[in-house]
Amino acid sequence: MTWEPELEELERRRAFALEMGGPEGVERQRARGKLTVRERIDAFADPGSFREFRGLVGEATYEDGKLAHFTPKPAVEGFVEVDGRKVVVTAGDFTVRGGSGGGARGAMGQELPANRRAIEWRVPYVRLLDAAGGSVRSFEELGRTYLPDGNDGAAYDVQLLRQSPVVSAVLGSVAGLPAVNACLAHFNVMVRGMSQLFPGGPPVVKAALGYDITKEDLGGEQIHVYQSGVVDNLAEDEADAYRQIRRFLSYLPSNVWEPAPRVEPTDDPERREESLLSVVPRDRRYPYDAHKIIEAVVDQDSFFEIAPLYARSRITGLARIDGYPVGVMANNPAFMGGTTDVSAGDKVIRLLQLCDTFHLPLITFADEPGFLVGLESEKRGIERAGARLVVATCESQMPWCTVVVGRLFGVAGQCQQRPTGMFRRYAWPSARWGSMHIQGGASAAYRREIESAPDPEAKRAEIEARLEALASPFRTAESTGQDIIDPRETRPLLVEFVRDAQRILASQIGPSPTPYRP
C-alpha cells in the first residue's frame, strides 16, 4: 500500500496554486502590462533556483470531504539565488484578492514567514510588492473586526534592517501596510507608469477629504521619486527594476557578520586622471557635474547611484575602489550650488547608516557651500535637519575619507569631517573653507564699516579682497598640517585608504551600535 492518493492531492493543490487567482485575475494583471507573481520571481532569480515555502497556505473548498478547489494566499514566498547567493523573496499576488492579506489566522503551529526566515538564515530579503493591504472584506470572513496589531510582524522587519540587506520593489498599486513595507528597506525602486504608493488610495482619499484624484497623481513616480524621496530609484520596466536590485545587492554582504564581497579588480590602482586638473572651474560662478569626479576616481563603470532624481544637490551611491565596495557621496554644484537642504541631509544620513550597517568605507567629494538659507528652508526646519546630520556624522564609525575639491563652509562643511575613528582628509588646491562665504560674511561682519564708508560698495570690495588673500588652502596647511594633493593623486591615495580600511572593518563585523532607521 502506497501514499499515492495523498501525493495526488498534493499535486492538485500545487496545480491550483500555480493558477494563482484564476484566468480572469491573470488576464487583468497582464492587461495592465504586469508580470504575474511567479513570472516576476523567475525574472528576478537565477534560473531554476526558486524553492518555495508556505506554498500550501490558502483557502480550500471541499465536496463530500474531498478537495474541490484551492485558492492560494495572495503572496508567494521562497528562497532564490541571486548571482549564486541565497536570498529570501516574498512577492505579492494581485490576482488573488488584489494582494490583500485577508483574514488573520491562528498562530498555533505556523511555519516561519519570509521575514523571519531571512533573519534565521542571515540572508538578504527582497519584497516584490503588488498588494492593496488590508480589506474590509476580511471582516466578513472573520465574522468580526480586529485590533490593528500588525507590529507583531513588523518587529521582525525592523530587526532585519540591522542584520541583512532589505530591498523593496513597488510593482503596482501598493497601499496600507505594504506601502510602509516599501520603506522598511535599505533600497527601493518603482516602475515608470506602472507603480503607485500610498497609505490609502483614491476611494479612501475621497471618503476622508472629499476630493477626487487618480492613483498616479496621488502616489506615482512624479511624487515619490522626484518630490517626497520615499522611493529611491525609478526603473524603466520590471526587468530594469530587477537589474537595479541585483546590482544594489552585489555591493553588500549577505549579513552584517560577513565582509562585503570584493570582486577581482580590472582597473589600474595607480590610474591618474588628467581630467581632474580642470574639472573644477576657477570661476566659481560656473557649475560642474560632480559625477565626472566620481567616475574618474572609482573603478571604471562601478558607480551605482541611489536616489538620483531626489535632493539632487547631493549625489549618493555605491561603487568599488580596487574591487572593494564603498559608499560614495558628493555635493553637486549643478543643482542649488551643491547646498545641503533638509532633503539632501536626510539622503546623506541614509547613506551613512547604510555604510555603517554593512561595514563599507565612505568616500566623500566635498564642495559644500553650507546649509540652505531662506524662508522656505526655515519652514522645513533646517536647523533640526542640521542637528540630525551632526548626530549621524558623529555616531558613525566606518572608515571615512573626505576629498575637499571646492568649498567647505559652516556646519554643513563640519559634517564632512569626523573627529573619531579612521578618518582621513585630503584637499585639492581648488579648495576654500571657513565659517561662511567671504562675500556674504563680509557684509555681515563689517556691516558698520561698510555702511559708514563714503563709497560702501568700494569698501566692501576692498574688505573682500583682503579676506580673499587669506583664503589660500596653503595658509591653512602651514598651521594645521592639512594635506593638499595634486587631483591626479586622488585615485591612488583612495586605493591605499580603502585597502587600509579593511583591517578596521574586520574589527567592526556584527551589528552596528547605531540602528538603521529608514
Per residue in 434-455, pLDDT (tens digit) is: 755 556 555 666 677 777 778 8
Residue located via cell numbers 531662506: 374
Q: Number of H helices and number of E strands within the chain?
A: 21, 19
Write down the pLDDT at residue 11: 94
Residue 413 neighbours by CB under 8 Å, 6+ apart: 366, 368, 370, 407, 433
Q: Which of 16-20, 353-357, 461-465 has the highest mean pLDDT?
A: 353-357
Burial per residue of 109-119, b for 16 or more beta-carbon CB atoms within 10 angstroms, e otherwise: eeeebbbbbbb
Write down the pLDDT at residue 104: 46
> Which of 474, 496, 361, 371 has the alpha carbon at shortest distance from 427?
474
Write down the pLDDT at residue 439: 61
pLDDT band at residue 343, thresholds of 50, 70 and 90?
very high
Segment 166-178 shows an average pLDDT of: 95
Q: Does pLDDT of 48 surpass 50?
A: yes
> Which of 20, 78, 75, 77 has the alpha carbon at shortest distance from 49?
78
Per residue in 382-401, pLDDT (tens digit) is: 999 999 999 999 999 999 99
Name the residue with higher pLDDT: 244 or 101: 244
What are 47's three cell numbers? 534560473
Q: Where are the beta strands (DSSP E) in 161-313?
A: 166-170, 173-175, 187-191, 196-198, 233-235, 304-306
> What does the alpha-carbon distance between residue 17 and residue 189 come to, in Å, rounded to a whole number?
28
Q: Does pLDDT of 256 surpass 90?
A: yes
Segment 92-97 shows an average pLDDT of: 89
From residue 280, how far is each of 66, 196, 329, 440, 494 by CA, in Å?
A: 76, 40, 17, 22, 19
H or E stretch including 247?
helix 238-250
Per residue in 109-137, pLDDT (tens digit) is: 788 999 999 999 999 999 999 987 666 66
Average pLDDT in the chain: 92
What are 110's three cell numbers? 505556523
Q: What are the backbone dihedrals phi and psi of residue 72, each rounded to the nearest 5 degrees, phi first? A: -70, 165
Q: Does pLDDT of 27 surpass 80?
A: yes
What's 110's DSSP letter? P
CB atoms under 10 Å from CB of 32, counted, come to 12
Per residue in 232-243, pLDDT (tens digit) is: 999 999 999 999
Write down the pLDDT at residue 196: 96
> What does the alpha-carbon distance between residue 16 and residue 25 come to, in Å, rounded to a whole number?
14
Write down the pLDDT at residue 442: 56
Write down the pLDDT at residue 468: 67
From residue 236, how far is each of 62, 244, 361, 404 by CA, in Å?
A: 44, 11, 30, 35
What are 461's three cell numbers? 570690495
Set out the domains of the chain in order of their start, with CATH numbers. 4-104+112-250 (3.90.226.10), 274-428+485-507 (3.90.226.10)
Segment 203-231 shows an average pLDDT of: 96
> What does the alpha-carbon distance between residue 293 and residue 344 come to, in Å, rounded to a whole number?
19
Write down the pLDDT at residue 103: 45
Q: Does pLDDT of 99 surpass 70?
A: no
pLDDT band at residue 463, thresholds of 50, 70 and 90?
low
What are 4's three cell numbers? 499515492
H or E stretch including 344?
helix 342-358
Q: How far, rounded to the nearest angstrom, does the alpha carbon of residue 481 sit from its chain's CA centroid?
A: 36
What is the separation, in whole angstroms, between the first and last Cα of the chain?
57
Per residue in 284-319, pLDDT (tens digit) is: 888 999 999 999 999 999 999 999 999 999 999 999
> Which of 179, 308, 158 has the alpha carbon at shortest distance from 232?
308
Write down the pLDDT at residue 229: 97
Per residue in 275-293, pLDDT (tens digit) is: 999 999 988 888 999 999 9
Residue located via cell numbers 558698520: 448
Q: Does pLDDT of 348 surpass 50?
A: yes
Q: Does pLDDT of 251 surpass 50?
A: yes
Segment 365-372 shows an average pLDDT of: 96
Q: Does pLDDT of 331 surpass 80?
A: yes
What are 65's three cell numbers? 470531504
